[in-house]
Structure 1
């Protein structure tokens, strides 16, 4: 028979677990940005993905997946609805047929232009509430973890 883990262990994890605290903060921030971007028809994840494609030259899957902290399979799934909406286009790379180039379409650019003011406003509100130094310290700490 196994012994039950004491409730004190649950409290320990609740209070100390960095992963739990980051997940809760990410969900809260994600919800806030989802609400801000809803009028444009994007989620915060879709906004980040479109922004990752906003480059002088179309990127391949690898660098975009790395920037967003996801694997290629997850990126492929995230691209599908954006392709259906006509916001992105995926094409074979002429220099390497096994590689795919990711293009932001004109509609994708237009959607980002509409979404960026909502993102900027929401981001400024959050950064103001945290304070500039705390916000920068948080970015530095999160970058160190990723």
Structure 2
């Protein structure tokens, strides 16, 4: 990735700084993942479904800490693209999601691109700052039960 780095001024508000950082990191991952036609949020869903699958929507929502309504809305595009399927018996209310062959192929291609994004971020920030960032983000997440 040939990305210019701009020195941007931080805001006084911690929340605003975190939101800006989140948007920036999302943009970097999305740019790396573009050849797979996945966004980082979609890649994350495929990754969790692959490792947990078949998985119910409720279990997936708990694992990724997303409310069910938002999760169902985010699952739609990857379901429409034929990347996941519901293998639950007809007539049951509890969906069981798993990757299709196309989904697995897309995931594997995207996983290589995701690894490149990971490396780029690690090289840009450095190992020590990545470790510090991980600790700080965990502390921030712990603010809310």
**TM-score band, normalised by shorter chain:** 0.7 to 0.9
| Structure of greater relative contact order (alpha carbons < 8 Å, 6+ residues apart) | 2
Question: Which residue matches 1:144?
Answer: 139
Question: Which residue matches 1:131?
Answer: 126
Distance 1:78 1:101, change over 3 A: same
Question: Which residue matches 1:114?
Answer: 109
Tell me, in whole angstroms, the C-alpha distance in 1 between the residues paired with 2:30 and 2:139. Answer: 26
Task: Structure 1 unaligned segments of length 5 or more: list them.
Answer: 1-12
1:38 shift after superposition: 1.0
TM-score (norm 2): 0.81
- Tell me the SS of whatever aligns to 1:62: helix
Runs of 4+ in 1 over 4 A off after TM superposition: none
TM-score (norm 1): 0.80
Greater strand share, 1 or 2?
1
| Conserved? CA contact 2:86–2:96, under 8 Å | yes
Counterpart among 7, 18, 21 of residue 25 in structure 1? 21
Equivalent residues in 2 for 1:64-143 (5 A)? 64-92=60-88, 97-143=92-138
Distance 1:144 1:101, change over 3 A: farther
Task: Structure 2 unaligned segments of length 5 or more: list them.
Answer: 1-9
1:93 shift after superposition: 6.5
- Tell me the SS of whatever aligns to 1:103: strand
Distance 1:141 1:52, change over 3 A: same
1:31 shift after superposition: 0.7
| Conserved? CA contact 2:88–2:96, under 8 Å | yes
- Tell me the SS of whatever aligns to 1:55: helix
1:51 shift after superposition: 0.7
1:140 shift after superposition: 2.2
Give the number of the structure whose alpha-carbon radius of gyration is greater: 1
Question: Which residue matches 1:54?
Answer: 50
Distance 1:93 1:14, change over 3 A: farther
Q: CA RMSD in A?
A: 2.1
